[in-house]
Structure 1
Amino acid sequence: MSEIKLNLEQIKEYQQNRHPYLFVDYIEKLVPGKISNGYKILSKDEWFFKVHWPGDPNMPGMLQVESLVQTSALALTTLPNNKGKLVYLISADRLRFIKKILPGSKLILNTKIKEYKRGLASVEGKAYVNDALVCSADFRIIMPDEINKFKVK
């Protein structure tokens, strides 16, 4: 399949998260079923900077993982007949939070689908700010609509 790019409005067509819980602004490189790379511009007005932590605002680790999950989900929802379907995180391993992500950062999100079968995907995700690795994780995501097709009746 060929590479595609998605702007914010196109991202919203393929997945169901919305502001303030949409953590990817643009997809620069996407190969359906394979990779999805994009970014999120983190303004100083993001809701979580106001509460995590006053006087030392930074992006919570689990929202970093959520950013990677949302980015990777687009590699599945751009496959034929998957547009707009739900994708859930079911597990995460080897989480690494290396540096604080501060207000004003451009969070680069790179994800790779290592394996996808019957609605279950294994994913590798890495996030960068200014070319420095800030977060990485291996995780599994599911598409319930696809998994349900394979249930024994």
Structure 2
Amino acid sequence: MSALDSLPHGPEFRFVDELVELDPGKSARGSYTVRGDEAFLAGHFPGRPLMPGVILVEAIAQLGGVAAQSDPEIGPVEGLLLTGIRGAKILGAAEPGETLEIRAEVEGRLGGMIQISGEVESAGRKLASAKVMLSGAA
């Protein structure tokens, strides 16, 4: 079973294609290639599809969840969900064909609450950064 299998999302809402590096329970690096056939791109924006900034933040949360759920000393958190976003900055956009480089780090844990910091880049351009809170039943 791959660490990516810990994501509860279906394939149509998974924004991490590949796990590039994993320090279990601490951090992860992953990638996602914007294919161009994602349903949301048809309306964002017609004729000039751009990956929505909120989905860049979702990618950080998903990769952070993979890092957190892989902790060898703490079992997986049941029902882990994105429950907070702080300090999010959307600095750019990605177009179909671009590969997103995603980084996430577990900054802290308290029971079923996990704080993650992360960022998304493409071709050396920083596209987004955020701190997200994931919560579930400990």
Within 5 Å, give how 1:110-149 maps onto structure 2.
110-142=103-135, 144-146=136-138
CA displacement at 1:11 relative to structure 2: 4.2
Task: Give SS of 1:20's match.
Answer: helix
- Which protein shows a greater Rg? 1
Q: Is the 8 A contact 1:109 1:125 kept in 2?
A: yes
CA displacement at 1:79 relative to structure 2: 2.3
Higher relative contact order (CA closer than 8 Å, sequence separation 6+):
2
CA displacement at 1:140 relative to structure 2: 1.0
Q: Is the 8 A contact 1:33 1:116 kept in 2?
A: no
Aligned counterparts of 1:18 and 1:118: Cα–Cα separation in 2 = 26
Mind listing any 5+ residue stretches in structure 1 that lack a counterpart?
A: 1-8, 147-153
Mind listing any 5+ residue stretches in structure 2 that lack a counterpart?
A: none
CA displacement at 1:86 relative to structure 2: 2.7
Report the equivalent of 2:32.
40
Matching residue's letter, 2:60: L
More strand, by proportion = 2
Which contiguous aligned blocks of 4+ residues in structure 1 show a shift greater than 6 angstroms? Answer: none
Report the equivalent of 1:14.
6
Q: Is the 8 A contact 1:15 1:86 kept in 2?
A: no
CA RMSD of aligned residues (A): 1.6
Task: Give SS of 2:12's match.
Answer: coil
Q: Is the 8 A contact 2:24 2:67 kept in 1?
A: yes
Matched, 1:82 2:76: yes
Q: Is the 8 A contact 1:27 1:38 kept in 2?
A: yes
Task: Give SS of 2:134's match.
Answer: strand
- What is the total number of aligned residue pairs between the two structures? 136
2:93 aligned to which of 95, 100, 109: 100
